[in-house]
Structure 1
Amino acid sequence: MMPITDFKNNRRTLFNAVNRFITSVTVMGETIMVPSLLRDLPVEEEGSHRKSDVSKQRDMYDSYLLLKSIRNDIEWGIPDEQIKSNLESSKAKEEDIESGDLQRLLHHHLDGLYNVLSKLTLQANHLTNRYTRELGINDSGR
């Protein structure tokens, strides 16, 4: 049997990162009552020499919309037609990585993560079904 690790104290998990992001964007949405006031506000503060991860956005409003859109992608999934258009060519993927198109890059990785998790889920279901079949366990009571 595998030892049980204390995962509650591990903050470097995908689940915790997703929860922190969704919570932050939810708080942002609840706090910013009039998003249009963010128009024409630069993404980086004046005098800031730190390179922003959202430098492709023209202003804070664009950044706000991007963050809300990414949260929706994570919570509700990415439409199949959007995945196909985002992943049409490997050259486009390379350009996205270099140009910093964070939303497209996120879609690429979310799609990959979703596919892996789906395959693992099928494998777990197969293992469970095979186990119950081998032991002759009847699960018709579910």
Structure 2
Amino acid sequence: MMQISSGSASNKHSLLNVMNRFIAAANNMDETIMVPSLLRDLPLEEQADSEVEANNNNQELQCPNKQKDMYEHYLLLKSIKNDMEWGLLRREVSSGAGFLELPVKQEEKEQVTGDLLLDDNSDLEHQFHYHLRGLFGVLSKLTLQADHLTNRYKREIGGGSFMR
């Protein structure tokens, strides 16, 4: 059985560290936001700023957020954290469809099995590094979003003096 050395876990650039930072930020968000329903109908700041700028320039938004309000964004971050902690298999095994269930389960299964067969495992190292860089980037952004959502919630309920 392969063991992970304690030195690799302490490296601030390790995948485990980046994952732990996101999970810690999501846990902090979840502990801070006691009444998630207060987030309903509160627009994301970035989205609101982009819409104002786009309306002023009469241009279409280039990269709109899929979440309509802070509540949906909160649910997305919690769902991603749960997927990281419990894995994707839990989603498939569960009988009920979750809030963020994607209707492309069959497509995901085909990609997992089909892509590897098509590539014939020719350049696994390149694929690994490509996806690792992407994972680092996504987890870093999700961590910032969880922290931002937590701080915004504190501002909205008047708890801004308790910000970390």
Question: Which one has the bigger helix percentage?
Answer: 2
Normalising by the residue count of structure 2, what TM-score does the alignment of the two structures yield? 0.43
Normalising by the residue count of structure 1, what TM-score does the alignment of the two structures yield? 0.48
* Greater RCO, 1 or 2 (C-alpha within 8 Å, sep 6+): 2
User: Which entry has the higher C-alpha Rg, 1 or 2?
Assistant: 1
